[in-house]
Amino acid sequence: MKMPAETTTVAQKLVSINPATGEVLAEFEPASAAEILAAVRRAREAAPAWRALGLKARARYLRQLKDVLLARREDIAQLISRETGKPRFESLAAEVLLVLDACEYYSREAPAFLRPERVPHHNLAVKGKRGRLEYEPYGVIGIISPSNYPFSIPLNELIPALVAGNSVVLKTSELTPQVGIAIRDLVRAAGFPPGVAEVLAGDGMTGRALVAAPIDKLIFTGSVATGKRIQAAAAERLLPTVLELGGKDPMIVLDDADLERAASGAVWGAFTNAGQACLSVERLYVARAVSDRFAELCVEKTKQLKLGPPDDSDVGPLIRERQVRIVEEHVQDAVRQGAEVRVGGRRPPRDRWPGFYYEPTVLTRVHHGMRVMREETFGPVLPIQAVEDDAEAVSLANDSEFGLSASVWTRDRRRGERIARELLTGAVMVNDCASYFGITEAPHGGVKLSGLGRTHGRLGLREMVRVKYLDVDLVPRLPKVWWFGYDELATRLMSGFTDFLFARGLPKRLRGLRDVVRGLGKRRV
């Protein structure tokens, strides 16, 4: 879910731009390294009291956050659309709604998910002990978030971090500073104690300062290149990280699929948020027997989409000029190598469309030698490749450095599930795509260059805590056979105990038990 690293500055300032028009909306000073350190210090000071409140009290703050957001949802959605260019519907559905649901979900489920868990002991030697797992907050968690979903991504990480008992320092995207300010104001209006949730707008230098600051864990969503640099820096002090580094998500359409529905899914999956989603359909493999009809349906549905500004469109602009150029390069490279542009494939006239637009594009006759099939395009392009059978579809889908998510489309549920298990990704959907990100229970994260760790759901919440094993001896006066005094008697006792537990045949086990009883009666520790 990321943009390539890009800092838009005028005299070292962050510039908020309306992507639909190119208009400069506002300018801001990026947070300095000193301000980051001060924010981390405030978060560190606030953490003990925040943790001491307990889970149920912290969950009440999430419900307050939900209430404030619900009351402000229209204004926040409008702001998101103005600063990102995405349609108002998407600002509500993929940004505001997801955060409201996260508040509801974690406020209800976190106390159960983080409740201490008993660890049963199966070995008779330790039946006199009681063990349990306890979940403790890290302390201060740093979050660096992107511009493509500048509201839902950071808040879906901040919310579980807070309810788990951590304080948070969030660095919002340099491309969407006004949304970052809205997050800060929202947290304040919800009444969170000072220092518990520090929100700062900044650029790449600000992000580097946060990585170097004395935080206890870092959650980053961004490019592979930046993620690798962060991981290298974190390794110097073994700083735990969660990295979500994007995808090149494949969609597989089998010969028995409902083509009408699959085409609708493909068009939405490729063009929602103008293709600027890590879960976008960026590669599509369709059975050759149905490939012509399927491509025709995709072209027809793409032609019906309305390109334009947020209040009157299905597909909006890209976030910046640089991203438009990347999309242009991928399409041009594909065309040079023989791809056919079935619809789109160009930037609309600048006199009519002064912002950062690119027409929704469907390509056929593509192959894996093309950049559009290997590199993350992050724009409104749907490349379609025909395949001979299921095996070829799976092989091509797995032929990628990325492994975030995928989708399989078929009328045969078992066939879809079988293929899903063969795909090397963090998630697979059957007969839908991308939308699992909106399921708060569903963990989100990938394999290979798509990153490390998970966000969302129970597993995402567990990323916000350290696991501690606590063991209590219930019979402290009982001699411990594993303590010192390694004499011949101790060795015979241990040999007998081993036979009692693991020997084949009841007679040998009983002889082992006899040796244990005799040994315990004579041994003194």
Give me the half-sphere count of Cα atoms (radius 13 Å) on the Cβ side of residue 47.
21
CA distance 172 to 183: 9
Strand 129-137 to strand 465-473: parallel, antiparallel, or no bridges (unpaired)? antiparallel
Catalytic residue list: 244, 278
Helices (H) and strands (E) in the chain, counts: 16, 21
* Angle made by CA atoms 339, 342, 344, in degrees to the nearest 5: 105
CA distance 125 to 115: 27
Distance of CA 315 to the CA centre of its chain: 24
Give me the half-sphere count of Cα atoms (radius 13 Å) on the Cβ side of residue 498.
7
**Cα-based torsion angle of the residue sequence 377, 394, 387, 367 in order, rounded to the nearest 10 degrees:** 30
The helix (run of H) or strand (run of E) holding residue 219 is: strand 217-221
Taking 3-state DSSP, the helix, strand and coil percentages for the chain, each rounded to the nearest 5, stand at 45, 20, 35
Strand 241-244 to strand 451-452: parallel, antiparallel, or no bridges (unpaired)? antiparallel
- For residue 242, what are the contacts with CB-CB under 8 A and spacing of at least 6? 217, 218, 219, 220, 445, 451, 452, 453, 454, 455, 463
Give me the half-sphere count of Cα atoms (radius 13 Å) on the Cβ side of residue 311.
5
Torsion region of 469: left, alpha or beta (phi above 0 gives left; psi -120 to 50 gives alpha): beta
DSSP 496-523: HHHHHHH-SSHHHHHHHHHHHHHHHHH-
Nearest alpha-carbon partner for 376 in 329, 341, 343: 329
CA distance 458 to 440: 9
Contact between 149 and 225 (Cβ < 8 Å): no
